[in-house]
Structures are given as structure tokens and as C-alpha cells.
Amino acid sequence: MNKWIDLDDQAVAISRALAMDAVQKVGNGHPGTAMALAPVAYTLFQRILRHNPVKPDWISRDRFILSCGHSSLTLYIQLFLSGYGVELEDLKNFRTFNSLTPGHPEYGHTLGVETTTGPLGQGVANGVGMAMAARYEKGLLDPDNTTDIFDHNIWVLCSDGDLQEGVSAEASSLAGTQALGNLKVIYDDNRISIEGDTHVAFTENVSARYKSYGWEVIEVVAKKDGNVDREKLEKALIKAAAHNSSPVLIRLQTVIAWPAPNASGTAKSHGSALGIEEIAQTKKILGIDPKESFFAPSNVISHTRQVKERGAKQFADWEIKFAKWQSLNPEQAALLNRLLKKQLPTNWAKDLPIFSQDKEVSTRAASGKVIQALAERLPEFWGGSADLAESNNTTIEGGKSFLPSSSKMADANPYGRVIHFGIREHAMGAILNGAALHGLVKPFAGTFLVFSDYMRGAVRLSALMQLPVTFVWTHDSIGLGEDGPTHQPVEHLAALRAIPGLELVRPADANEVSVCWKNIIERAKPTGLVLSRQNLPVLDRSKYAAATNAVKGAYVVAYGDELSKQCDVLLIATGSEVSIALQAREVLAEKNVKARVISIPCFEWFFEQSPAYQEEVMPRKIKARVSIEAGVSQPWYKIIGDYGIAISLEHFGASASASVLFKEFGFTAENVVAAATESIKRANG
């Protein structure tokens, strides 16, 4: 490793000054942490990380996650110094519209940003997901450990706030159980948050907590003047990189906003510009002319961008090994090539199950059958549940438990296909996001729909980043029965449909499940698959429209008049309620009322269809409409209009069997018939 020289000291000083200048120019932001962490981030990017700014998508690069995303300048400045395409002008445009430097790092927006961070704790959990995915992918590509070309580290920089959030505790506990030796977390222990000294709320022994999780813990105290002890830090980083039997926490003591004479160590420096006078005094201490703004001399930039040369050499050395591996492992090389191209195997869906109408099947059970078929054809398909595998039907049979080689548990395998997340829904969601971000896997995991609330922060970020993650949510309504209102989701379908970019899928029967799973895999978007606990009729497709129509989001299951296609009322339902609508159609037919039944497994897919198709399914001239869904009616009014009636649940459920609850709360054919009659009356004035 090159000797640390004066130009490195200048680069760190410039990093601190740029953080102050960027926040001062825009008038808002978080300068203090970026100032304190400048030597940390600089040492990582310049001396520790294996990365190549010219090849930012190199599969074997180390990943860097800034979990404390409010300190985005910590990352942006290093991307500038390293030559990732962020330039001085971008730093001047910090936190402004359409800039490469938004307030928090955004995945897919700025080169070098590995994940969107900001909601505290998410980045730590993303890091756990990336580390888990790296190990699983190693098993796909090099199960006999013949090469180190797929070995790399996941580095996370986090704050007091990150470690106060429960999601980081959930994820860190699992990381210890998983013995993730490729995960390195640097904890910025500065004891400052918005409300001041963190000891007003956070007094635990973090080191002891992480040791109890099974982590290696290294402590680095600050120098007497408050500055980071950079030499000791670098030794700690090197030691952490070499430690591969467990995750590592480097507890780093810092002073926020160091070396500002008045602002350092204060809560104000956390989230406010320091002011012109304080910046000027600080620049003097740093050896920078106070009159200079956004000072970045060419000799320093030329020096820091030599990291490209280091990265290019690392990449070239890796390519030689990679070529050798390809020649010796043609099957795995072909798999890697397919995964990198985001392609699916030929005829991958040919064995997806088709279900007979001879017996009723819950959609969760149907999904379990589909998962087995997917796993047979897609080695990248990988997941589990939050301690609910048997209930969610998310276990890949024969897939072995994803656990480290040191585990004493039965069926343990470091490259296993069944992830045991434990009862940690929020971490599970964020870990899935991290796994998807790592690049080669299609992750999924399940819990009950009612607990989607526990993971909503992660689900929202999955939608924001448009990650190919499938959230399997079973026990989708009051149909779960005797467990009662604490476990019966009422508002959840509406709340999840409100998340932009999330595709919520609620199939009507087993064959819709199979068709929808196929579409989910092909679309590779963040998706919630909502499934029933109770058995549902498997629709007779010789009598009703083919389930393959489900890929359009909504389709006509049965017309009011099969010959003329005319109808008096639209009965629109999802999930278990579609069969109720079909029963009501038969009763209405006896009354000479033509009712068209529409299954709408996914609003989002349907609204993507052409206006002509939407009109074909739901003609605007038919004003009489009834929606049937065992949840709140809020999202339905866009579809049913002024004359429609929503059969919904505007209150919490109760503890009783599914059949009793559906009857008590009006989810019956008789009630649908009454609503249809009333809607026709309204529409006809």
C-alpha cells in the first residue's frame, strides 16, 4: 500500500471544506458528519475498497453503503475525488432539482451509489442482504471454493441513529447467526443527534451488544484534539478486511463537525449550515484560504483520481483469473452470463402447475406448488419467511437451510436455498432489497399480510428503487378466521396500493396464482403477492375465461350474456371474493339481470393496459358497478364511480370461522345481488 503523503492530508481537508461549502450554498443539509467522517471515507475509497470507477458494475467489487444517508456529502465527495462522474459543479448543485447530488443518496441516479439510504437503519440491513447474497452467489458459481474471484466485502458506514432503529438490530442479530464474514460495519460514535447528546435516549453498550450477536468488535478512539485517529483506523480497517469468520463492527469515536471552533460537537452542526464566519475560521484551521469556495486544486484531484489506476490494475488481475475460471467452468460461466443479462432460461415456465377444479385449494398452497416449480428452473430464485414457512408455503423443498458451515443446525448449508429470517419482518424486507441490489438473485420471502405494516419502510424503498423483490403475504383477509382482528388485515390492501411503483397481486384461484407468479418473474418489479389462508374454488376454465388473462391485471371471467356480451352491471372482485361474485351472477341471471364478473388481481397491471382494453373490460357506459373485496373500499372508487356500491369492510374483524365472518360482514352472494340491484337503480336514475 502506498505511503500516506501530504496530498492525502490536503484531500481530507478539502473534503471537509467542500462539505461546509455545499451546505452553505444551498442553505440546508448535514455538514457536521461529513466533516468528521472525511478521513474515514477517504481512507476507505483510496486505500481499502476494491473498486474501479471505470467499471462501476464490476461484479466482484466491494460494496460501500452509507447507511446514514443524511450525510450524503460523505459519499458524493469521495465519488468526486475518485472520478465516478460527480464533478465540482455537481457539489455546487447539492440538494437541488435534477442534480446528481440529491439530499440523500439515490440508487440508479448517481453512479457509485449502491442503495438508496436515508430512513435510518435500512442501509445496515441492506448490507446484511448484500453479504448474504454474495455468499449464495458464491455457491452458484464456485461451490467448491476453487477461486477467490467472487470474494469481496460489504462495507457499511452507519450512525448512532442507524443503531437506534430496530431494523438494524434485527438485521445485525441475523448477521451474527449467519456468521457473515464479508460484512464490515463502521459505526460513527459521535454521541450527537438532532436533539443533542444521544445519551438522552441511547446509553447501551453497543460494543457488548454486537459481541453478544456474535460479531467481532474493534474500537478506535479519537485523538485528544477530537480528530479521527486515522492511522489506528486504517489498521482497524485492514484487520476487519482480513477477518472472515464473523461480521465486524468498528466502533469509531468521532467529534461531529471537527475541527470547526464553535460548531464541533454540537447538535446544530448535524443539520444546519455552519455560517460564513464559522466556515472561514474552520478553513483557516484546515490550511485553506477562507476566501476560496469549493476549493479543489488540480494537483490534489490528480492525486486522488490515481485510485482509477489502482482499480484498473485490480480489475485486470481479476480478469485473468476470471478467464481461467470461465474456461474451467463452462456451465457456471453460462449461468453467470445469463444472470448478468437479466435473462430467463429457455422454456423456464413449462412446468408451472395447472390446477384441476376437482377440489378447493387455498392460494397460499397453490403458491407453494408454484415456488417448487420455479426453484427447479431458476437457481437464482432464493428465499424464505419470517418464521412462517409452513404457513406461508415459502419453503423450497430439499433446498437446505441457508446457514454458515459453522452452524450445528440440521440441514445447514452455507449455500442453502431456504432462508430463516426469524421473526424480523422489517429486517427481512430490507435484506431482500440488499440481496436484489447485489445483482444476481431473485429474492422472495413471506409473512402474514397484516405484518406488512412491520416491513413497510423496506417495501417503500423497494418500490422507490424498483427492485425485483417478491413479498409473499398470506392470510389476506378476515378469511383467516379465528385468530381475530389483530391478525386480520382490513386496511392493508388499500395502504399497499397507495405505494407508487409497488405491484400488489391478489389472485382469485390457484390457476391465477400460477399465471401471476410467471408474470411476476418476467416483470422483475417489486411485488406483493397476497394469498388466502382458506381454501377457494378452482374455477372451471371450460366454463369461465382462461386464467392466462390475469397477466393483464383485470379480465372478464364471465359475461352477463355470453353471446351478446351485453350486461346490466359489473361485478368486480379480487381474490377469494371472485367466487362470491360468480355465485351472485347466477342468482342475478335467474332474475333476468345480466352481470359481468371481472377478476382484477392487480390494479397496477390493469392500469398499464391500453385504453381500448380497459374499455373492453369495463365499458364506461355501464354505470352500475359493484366492487367486492374484504378490506376497506378506499381504492375502489376510481373504478366503481358515482353509481357504484362497494361491498367492503370499514371496521376491524372478529374471531370466528371464515364462513361465519364472511356471512356476518356481508360477503355473500345475496348481499352482492342486493348491491347490484341498488346500483342498477342508481344508474338508471
List the CATH code of the domain at 363-530.
3.40.50.970
Average pLDDT over residues 565-582: 96
Q: Is the per-residue pLDDT at 68 higher than 80? A: yes
Q: Is the per-residue pLDDT at 563 higher than 90? A: no
Q: Please report how the helices 6-26 and 276-286 are oriented relative to each other, as an axis angle in degrees rounded to 10.
A: 180
481-530 per-position pLDDT tens digit: 999 999 999 999 999 999 999 999 999 999 999 999 999 999 999 999 99
199-246 per-position pLDDT tens digit: 999 999 999 999 999 999 999 999 999 999 999 999 999 999 999 999
Q: Please report the pLDDT score of residue 292 as a whole number.
A: 97
Cβ atoms of 253 and 36 within 8 Å: the answer is: no
Backbone angles phi, psi at 121, to 5 degrees: 95, -25
Instruction: Kindly state the percentage of the chain with pLDDT values over 90.
Output: 99
Q: CA of 651: how far to CAs of 372, 575, 630, 648, 667, in Å?
A: 37, 19, 11, 9, 14
Q: Please report the pLDDT score of residue 565 as a whole number.
A: 84
Backbone angles phi, psi at 442, to 5 degrees: -110, 95
Cβ count near 15 (within 10 Å) = 26
Round the average pLDDT of the chain to a whole number and report it.
Answer: 97
Q: Is the per-residue pLDDT at 133 higher than 80? A: yes
pLDDT band for position 585 (50/70/90)? very high
Residue with cell 474500537: 219
Average pLDDT over residues 305-319: 98
Average pLDDT over residues 305-313: 98
**Architecture of the domain whose range is 552-683:** 3-Layer(aba) Sandwich (3.40)
What is the radius of gyration, based on Cα positions, of the chain? 28
The domain ranges of the chain are 6-311, 363-530, 552-683
Cell matching residue 319? 480478469
349-402 per-position pLDDT tens digit: 999 999 999 899 999 999 999 999 999 999 999 999 999 999 999 999 999 999
Q: CA-to-CA distance for 556 and 320, rounded, in angstroms?
A: 57
Q: CA-to-CA distance for 589 and 309, rounded, in angstroms?
A: 76
Q: Is the per-residue pLDDT at 561 higher than 90? A: no
Q: What is the DSSP letter of 71?
A: G
599-657 per-position pLDDT tens digit: 999 999 999 999 999 999 999 999 999 999 999 999 999 999 999 999 999 999 999 99
Q: CA of 63: how far to CAs of 138, 240, 317, 337, in Å?
A: 16, 15, 19, 21
**What is the SS3 assignment for 405?**
coil
Q: Is the per-residue pLDDT at 442 higher than 90? A: yes
> What is the CATH T-level fold of the domain 6-311, as seen in this structure?
Rossmann fold (3.40.50)
Select which of 425, 512, 577, 629 is catalytic. Answer: 425
Do the domains 363-530 and 6-311 match in fold? Answer: yes
Q: CA-to-CA distance for 105 and 188, rounded, in angstroms?
A: 18
Cβ atoms of 366 and 372 within 8 Å: the answer is: no
Q: Please report the pLDDT score of residue 564 as a whole number.
A: 82
Cβ atoms of 531 and 513 within 8 Å: the answer is: yes
pTM for the full predicted model: 0.98
Q: Please report the pLDDT score of residue 685 as a whole number.
A: 83
Q: Is the per-residue pLDDT at 438 higher than 90? A: yes
- Rounded to a whole number of angstroms, the distance between the first and last alpha carbons of the chain is 83
Q: What is the DSSP letter of 46?
A: I
Residues in the chain: 685
Cβ atoms of 60 and 150 within 8 Å: the answer is: yes
Would strands 196-197 and 192-193 be described as parallel, antiparallel, or unpaired?
Answer: antiparallel
141-199 per-position pLDDT tens digit: 999 999 999 999 999 999 999 999 999 999 999 999 999 999 999 999 999 999 999 99
Concerning whether 425 is annotated as a catalytic residue, the answer is: yes
